[in-house]
Copies of this chain bind each other. A is one copy, B any other.
Amino acid sequence: LCLPAWADRATDEPITPISPAQVSNPELVELGKQLYFDPRLSRSGFISCNSCHNLSMGGTDNLPTSIGDHWQQGPINSPTVLNASMNLAQFWDGRAADLKAQAGGPIENPKEMASNHTLAVEVLRSIPEYRASFKARFGNEAITIDQVTTAIAAFEETLVTPNARFDQWLKGDDDALTEQEQSGYALFKEIGCTACHYGPAIGGKSFQKMGLIEAYQTNNPAQGRAGVTGKDADRFMFKVPTLRNIALTYPYFHDGAYWNLSEAVDVMARLQLGRQLNDDENARIVAFLKTLTGQQPDFKLPILPPSTPETPRPEPFPEN
């Protein structure tokens, strides 16, 4: 037997390391990646999933609210797609059960990609290389929106970010974190952040009230989970966001109102825990949070197959 000298901490901790993606169907993932980057799923021909969940930028757009079709302002901050497969449900209010259920939404949302499923599928069907890929993956050339969302979800399942410094430490490498970072993690547990932010994604596992102890001030009209359940008790319940890659996913909160991680941490301590952090405590927690940046997407820029004369044309502007 050949074991490392250090012990694996992971089993004792409320946070567990992220495992690399297990890819069982790489060709399906490859197809999903093309679709994720393909702006022809939007009516304008300009907006892809990657426009708002930019994989060069932590799987977000780093804007308070997104820019959609015709530069419409989105209603809420775009969450990261990184590690989203670990969420108990998708969207801030959890209204989609999983990644596959989610992926059909933006394509036909008039404020996002502004297409519809019939049109999106018609575009793909007009492109021989896509027909061949769908046939190879699904056994027929039909191309359905169900197949499209299956492929996109398969790609998104691979968007995990293992091997953060924090995970190296969790796995027993004492030198992977500084003293300050370790004491930040200790404080994060001690004061109760882990009541909501736990599991491999350090969030994503429950809905919780934003403003538990003290109300959150915002102009954003989102009501959270109440919009799904219709229950008054669910007002302002949001899915607890992952803290993985939190240094990359600014601005923070569902309204994207906070750009500074240090300020976001102060807001959380005050509103969720009734606690005023001093500067040292704040710095320690921020130092810990910055160790949560894992391996970012590591793949070739996908090359998209060209349209044909049969492809429905994009409509970027009203007809002249």
Chain A residues at the B interface, C-beta cutoff of 8 Å: 37-39, 44-46, 51, 54-58, 61-65, 67, 70-71, 73, 219, 247-248, 250, 259-260, 262, 296-304, 306-307, 309, 313-314, 316-317, 320
Contacts and interface: CB of A to CB of B under 8 A. Distances in A.
A159 B247 CA distance: 32
B301 A299 contact: yes
B247 A56 contact: no
Contact of A309 (B45, B46, B64, B260): B260
A250 B306 contact: yes
A71 B73 contact: no
Which 10 A-B pairs have CB atoms at the shortest separation, nearest pair first? Answer: A71-B71, A296-B303, A260-B309, A56-B304, A46-B67, A248-B306, A301-B301, A63-B316, A70-B71, A73-B317
Q: How many copies does the complex hold?
A: 2
Contact of A250 (B37, B56, B61, B307): B307
B56 A307 contact: no
Contacts of A46: 51, 61, 63, 67
B56 A301 contact: yes
Contacts of A247: 306
A259 B309 contact: yes
27 contacts: A37-B56, A39-B57, A45-B61, A45-B62, A46-B67, A55-B301, A56-B302, A56-B303, A56-B304, A57-B304, A58-B306, A63-B316, A64-B316, A65-B316, A65-B317, A73-B316, A73-B317, A248-B306, A250-B306, A259-B307, A259-B309, A262-B309, A296-B303, A297-B303, A300-B300, A300-B301, A301-B301
Given A71-B71, A304-B56, A307-B250, A320 B63 contact: no
Contacts of A297: 301, 303
B62 A314 contact: yes
Central interface residue in A219, A259, A299, by most chain B CB within 10 Å: A259
Given A70-B71, A73-B316, A300-B301, 15 more contacts: A37-B56, A44-B67, A45-B62, A45-B63, A46-B61, A55-B301, A56-B302, A56-B304, A63-B314, A64-B316, A219-B320, A248-B306, A259-B309, A298-B300, A299-B301
Contacts of A317: 65, 73
Contacts of A314: 62-63
A168 to B, nearest CB: 19
A297 B37 CA distance: 15
